[in-house]
Amino acid sequence: MTQPIQRLAHLQTGTVDLHVQHVEGSPWNALLWIFLGRERIEGLPLSVFVIEHRDALILVDAGISPRVVTDPEFWPDPVTRAFMNNIFRFHVEPEDALGKQLSRAGYAPEDVDKAIITHLHFDHVGGIADIPNAELITSREAWEHMLGPHPEREAVLRRDIEIPGAKWRQIEYGLIEDATLKPFTHGHDLMGDGSILLLPTPGHLDGSSSVFLRVDPPILFVADLCYRTDLMIKERFPGTGEHDLLAESWARVRALKTRLPDLLIVPSHEEAAVARLLAHPLATVGHDRHANVEKKGGR
C-alpha cells in the first residue's frame, strides 16, 4: 500500500520580530534584553502546517489570532502586557487569520478533522475557533500545565483555549515499538498507521510535543523546541525555555537525525526551514494559492 500522507502545505498566520537574544541566547539576564534589547530578527513566520492524510485533513498548530494586534485587552493584566509587548513585535493582518489562510490555500476550514497543538502558547492556538469541527489534540502534560497558577504569565491564555464547542483531547504517550524512532521510546500514533507520531520534546514549555511524519524524506515538526535548526545542532540555547529539558530533547532530536540523516527538522518560526519543507516532494507550492486550488480542483 502506498504511504497514507498525500500532500503537505504551509500556512502563515502573520510574522513576528524577535529580539536576537530570544532566538540565539544571551549571557544577559532576560529582563535586560526584553526591555533594553534593540536588535531584532524580523519577519519570522507564525506557521501552521497542513497534512493531507488519506483519511483526514490534519493541521499542526492553529497559528495566531489577529486580535493580538487589534485587541488592547489581549493580554489580561498590565504586567503580562508590558512583558509581552516588549518580547514580541507582531505583523498580523485580519486576512492572516487561520480560516482565511485555509480558504486561500483551497481548503474549507470546516473540513479540518484534527489539529495537533504542539503546545498551548497563544501563537499556536489562535485559530481554533476557525476550525469548528476539528478534534484538538495536545499532550496531557501541556493541558495540566495550563491548569496551573497564572498560565498567562507564560503566554498561555485559557480564555482562548477553553472556548465553547472546542473538542479538546489530551493524549498520553505510550511505549512505541519502532526502532526507527530511537532514542524516542514513547509517543502517540495519531492515525494508528504509523504515519504521524507525536513525540514528547519538553523544554520550551511543559508538555511540548513534536510531530514526526513517516514520508520520504521524513519530517519532524519541532514547533518552538528551537528557533533555528543550526543553533540546535550546535547546542546554542535560545533565551527562553528550561535549559536542562531543552538539552535532553535536543539530544534526542540530534540522535534521531544521526539515525535518519535526511530527516527534515522544521521549527515553527524558522523561515529557512519552511523553505526546505516547501522543497519536499509532497509539499504544495508555499503561498502559490492559485496553483494549490487548481490542484485541489483537478482531483
Listed in sequence order, the residues at least 6 apart from 6 whose beta carbon sits closer than 8 Å to its beta carbon are 52, 53, 54, 282
> Under a CB-based contact definition with an 8 Å cutoff, are residues 51 and 196 in contact?
yes
Q: Which stretch binds Zn ion (CB under 5 A): 52-60, 157-165, 179-187, 221-229?
A: 221-229
Q: Which stretch binds Zn ion (CB under 5 A): 44-52, 77-85, 222-230, 237-245?
A: 222-230
DSSP notation for 129-175: GG-TT-EEEEEHHHHHHHTSS-GGGGT--HHHHS-TT-EEEEE--EE
Is residue 224 a contact point for Zn ion (CB under 5 A)?
yes
Is residue 53 a contact point for Zn ion (CB under 5 A)?
no
> What minimum distance in Å lies between the beta carbon of 259 and Zn ion?
27
Decide whether 53 or 204 has the Cβ nearer to Zn ion: 204
Decide whether 10 or 121 has the Cβ nearer to Zn ion: 121
Is residue 22 a contact point for Zn ion (CB under 5 A)?
no
x-or-dash pattern for Zn ion, window 229-258, by CB under 5 A?
A: ------------------------------
Binding residues for Zn ion, rule CB under 5 A, total 2
Listed in sequence order, the residues at least 6 apart from 261 whose beta carbon sits closer than 8 Å to its beta carbon are none
DSSP notation for 215-242: SSS-EEEEETS-S-HHHHHTT---SSS-
Contacts of Zn ion in 176-215 (CB under 5 A): none
> What minimum distance in Å lies between the beta carbon of 211 and Zn ion?
14
> What minimum distance in Å lies between the beta carbon of 199 and Zn ion?
17
Decide whether 104 or 168 has the Cβ nearer to Zn ion: 168
DSSP notation for 259-298: HSTT-EEEETT-HHHHHHHHTSTTB--TT-HHHHHHHHHT
> What minimum distance in Å lies between the beta carbon of 223 and Zn ion?
7
Phi, psi of 118 (to 5 degrees): -65, -35
Decide whether 224 or 270 has the Cβ nearer to Zn ion: 224
How many degrees, rounded to 5, is the angle at CA 201 between CA 87 and CA 15? 35
Nearest to 127, CA basis, from 118, 145, 115, 140: 115
> What minimum distance in Å lies between the beta carbon of 6 and Zn ion?
29
Decide whether 152 or 224 has the Cβ nearer to Zn ion: 224
> Under a CB-based contact definition with an 8 Å cutoff, are residues 250 and 225 in contact?
yes
> What minimum distance in Å lies between the beta carbon of 263 and Zn ion?
22
Nearest to 61, CA basis, from 108, 110, 127: 127
Decide whether 107 or 122 has the Cβ nearer to Zn ion: 122
> Under a CB-based contact definition with an 8 Å cutoff, are residues 156 and 145 in contact?
yes
Contacts of Zn ion in 81-140 (CB under 5 A): 121
The count of other CB atoms within 10 Å of the CB of residue 283 is 18
Decide whether 5 or 222 has the Cβ nearer to Zn ion: 222
Decide whether 121 or 228 has the Cβ nearer to Zn ion: 121
Nearest to 199, CA basis, from 264, 139, 143, 260: 139
> What minimum distance in Å lies between the beta carbon of 150 and Zn ion?
17
> What minimum distance in Å lies between the beta carbon of 32 and Zn ion?
21
Instruction: Note the residues at the interface with Zn ion (CB under 5 A).
Output: 121, 224
